[in-house]
Structures are given as structure tokens and as C-alpha cells.
């Protein structure tokens, strides 16, 4: 298939491009810079992609969005987090609506932050959205993406957990204190971490592209979430480092502000619909995932 990826230069997008090309698909990524490369499409919202160009793609994967991890959540940062997702998706959907030939499938990223804090409760795709900032962003983002269904396009929404990989993502930030022998759990350590290996992100998206029966919302997280304390212990063991220096919640709040609540709370997410879809996880257990990435 011909596949268009927004956010194709990011951590997930780069890995997905490799996965899809290895599977035999032709991949084009969007770029804001002028480009004559056949592998790049110059596009910058609020403009639309030309109907003739959109009609050449069989599948579109929307991964665009400003990182939630890179800066303290100021008012401007929060607006960038929201607008980079919702506005980009809006103009992408409008471009699809104008196309003479619609793509067969539209896949839109989201996150388990959709659910907000849930304590020890097991959370499946049927759970209601939370009330915090990230939940409100994910809810609005998904509502915009679902408008592709109204254009007659099969739509898949993927709610990612904490993505583990070798070329970036959350894991690279996590291992820094462990390498300095000061690693440990965060806050109480009782909050749940719903993680997923990058190969299962890209693997499931490829699976969704190739299987016409896949549609709707999917929790793309490993089937074995862990508490932050257990995750940190296994990470320390994988690195050959101790996990005995917890980060107090008050210190994290003082340093990171509102964003700290994402790290101090969590969700025990179960990928119920992925497990029944026929997709087989490559890394269902953290030990295997860490061995691969480290």
C-alpha cells in the first residue's frame, strides 16, 4: 500500500516507517520544509493537502503532536500540546473529505492518558475518559479523528502506553539516574505503568493497515502492566544497577509542576481489544522488552 505518515520523523514515526517499508509498503512522511523527495510531502496546517495527492494514499497514519515530556507545562506549552494534535487532525480529515478517492484506513494516535488516574482498577477500552488536562486533550483529539468515519473511511484509534525503545522515548530518560547509581521508583511507587515495546506499536499499526476487520479504539499496551516500583526494580536489574533511591512526590511537583501528576498517578490498562483482534504481542513481558531495548 501507499502510506502517508504525519509525525514521521518522531520516535514512533521513524520506527513505523522502517516497519512498513520492511513489510513492502511505500511510505511518505509529511514535512513542513519544501521537499522534492518522493518520500516526503510538504504540508503545514492550517492548509489542506490537495485532493489529487490525498487520493494516492491507501492508508494514513496520524502521529503528529508536540511532546508532553520535553518542557514544563506552561500555559503556552499546554496550548502547543493541544493544538498540535487537534488542529493537525482537523485539517487532515478535511483533506480526506475533499479527496476523490478516500484512503482505505485512517489510523490516529492517542494515549492511555485518555482515562485519567484510575488507581488499581483494570481499565479496558470501554472505560470513560478522565477529567484532567491530558484526558481532555485525548478526548478532543479522538473526537476529531472519528470524523473520518463520517467520510466513509475505516478508522482506528490507538491509545499508546509508555513506549519503550532504543532510539528515544521515555526509556532514555528513565535510565539516566540508574546509570548514575541513583535510580529508584517515583512517589509511592504504587501507581501503575502501562508500557509497550516500540515493536508492538509498529507491529499493531501494520496489522491494522493490513486487516480490514480492525476498526475502533484499541489500547496498545503490553498485557502485563506493572506498578512503578516493580517497573523500576526490573529496570535496575536489567541495567545491573540498584533501585533504592525513590524520588519524593513533593520534589517532583516542585520540579515539573502539573506534569508531575502524570508520573505520580497512572492507569492499569488492559489491551482487551488488541488481544482479541488476532495480533500477537512480540514483547508481552517487561524483562523481554528491556533485554531487547537495552
**Which three three-digit cell numbers place residue 93?**
480529515
**41 closest CA partner among 2, 83, 81:** 2
Q: How much is the pLDDT for 19?
A: 96
- How far, rounded to the nearest angstrom, does the alpha carbon of residue 201 sit from its chain's CA centroid? 8
Grid cell, residue 116, equals 485519567
**Cβ pair 228, 191 in contact under 8 A:** yes
What pLDDT does 235 receive? 95
Q: Where are the domains positioned within the chain? A: 2-163+194-223+268-282
Grid coordinates of 266: 497512572
pLDDT of residue 63: 98
Q: Could you tell me the pTM of the whole model?
A: 0.95
237 has pLDDT over 90? yes
Which cell numbers in the block locate residue 45?
496546517
Would you call the peptide bond into 46 cis, given omega within 30 degrees of 0 as the criterion? yes
Calpha distance 18→23 (Å, rounded): 9
227 — pLDDT class (breaks 50, 70, 90): very high
**Is 2-163+194-223+268-282 CATH 1.10.600.10?**
no
pLDDT the model gives residue 71: 76
Does residue 40 surpass a pLDDT of 80? yes
Going by pLDDT thresholds of 50, 70 and 90, the confidence category of residue 120 is: very high
Alpha helix positions (H), 55-169: 75-98, 133-145, 147-150
Answer for the pair 20, 3: CB distance below 8 angstroms, yes or no: yes
Contact partners, residue 268, CB within 8 Å, separation at least 6: 118, 119, 120, 121, 122, 123, 192, 194, 225
Q: For 79-96, what is each residue's pLDDT tens digit? A: 999 999 999 999 999 999
Q: Which residues make Cβ contacts (< 8 Å) with residue 254, sequence separation at least 6?
A: none
Report the DSSP pairing between strands 216-220 and 59-62. Answer: unpaired
Least confident of 54-63, 66-75, 215-224, 261-270: 66-75
Residue 29 near residue 9, CB atoms below 8 Å: yes
- 217 and 157 in contact (C-beta within 8 Å)? yes
Q: pLDDT, tens digit, for every residue of 196-214?
A: 999 999 999 999 999 999 9
**For position 167, what pLDDT does the model report?**
78
Give residue for cell 483533506: 95
**Residue 3 three-state SS:** strand
Q: How far apart are CA 257 and CA 250, in angstroms?
A: 10
Q: Residue with C-alpha cell 516542585?
A: 254
Which residues are CB-contacts of 232 (< 8 A; sequence separation ≥ 6)? 183, 184, 185, 186, 189, 243
Cα separation, 112 vs 268, in Å, equals 9
Q: Report the C-alpha gap between 269 and 204 in whole angstroms.
A: 17
Amino acid at each position: 500500500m501507499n502510506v502517508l505518515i504525519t509525525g514521521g520523523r518522531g520516535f514512533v514515526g521513524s520506527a513505523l516507517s522502517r516497519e512498513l517499508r520492511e513489510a513492502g509498503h511505500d511510505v511518505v512522511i509529511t514535512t513542513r520544509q519544501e521537499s522534492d523527495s518522493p518520500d516526503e510531502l510538504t504540508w503545514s496546517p492550517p492548509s489542506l493537502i490537495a485532493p489529487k495527492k490525498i487520493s494516492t494514499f491507501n492508508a494514513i497514519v496520524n502521529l503528529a503532536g508536540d511532546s508532553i515530556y520535553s518542557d514544563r507545562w506552561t500555559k503556552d506549552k499546554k496550548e502547543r500540546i493541544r493544538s498540535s494534535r487537534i488542529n493537525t487532525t482537523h485539517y487532515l480529515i478535511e483533506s480526506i473529505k475533499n479527496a476523490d478517492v478516500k484512503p482505505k484506513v485512517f489510523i490516529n494516535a492517542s494515549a492511555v492518558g485518555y482515562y485519567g488516574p484510575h488507581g488499581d482498577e483494570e481499565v479496558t477500552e470501554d472505560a470513560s475518559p478522565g477529567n484532567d488536562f491530558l484526558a481532555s486533550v485525548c478526548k478532543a483529539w479522538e473526537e476529531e479523528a472519528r470524523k473520518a468515519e463520517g467520510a466513509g473511511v475505516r478508522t482506528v484509534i490507538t491509545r499508546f502506553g509508555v513506549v519503550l525503545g532504543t532510539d528515544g522515548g521515555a526509556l532514555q530518560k528513565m535510565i539516566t539516574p540508574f546509570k548514575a547509581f541513583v535510580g529508584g521508583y517515583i512517589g509511592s511507587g504504587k501507581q501503575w505503568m502501562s508500557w509497550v515495546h516500540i515493536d508492538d506499536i509498529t507491529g499493531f499499526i501494520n496489522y491494522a493497515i493490513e486487516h480490514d476487520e480492525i476498526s475502533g479504539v484499541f489500547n496498545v499496551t503490553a498485557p502485563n502492566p506493572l506498578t512503578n516500583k516493580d517497573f523500576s526494580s526490573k529496570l535496575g536489574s536489567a541495567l545491573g544497577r540498584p533501585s533504592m533511591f525513590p524520588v519524593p512526590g513533593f520534589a517532583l511537583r516542585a520540579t515539573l509542576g502539573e506534569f508531575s501528576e502524570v508520573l505520580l498517578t497512572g492507569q492499569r490498562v488492559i489491551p482487551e481489544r488488541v488481544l482479541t483482534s488476532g495480533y500477537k504481542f512480540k514483547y508481552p513481558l517487561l524483562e523481554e522488552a528491556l533485554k531487547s531495548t537495552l
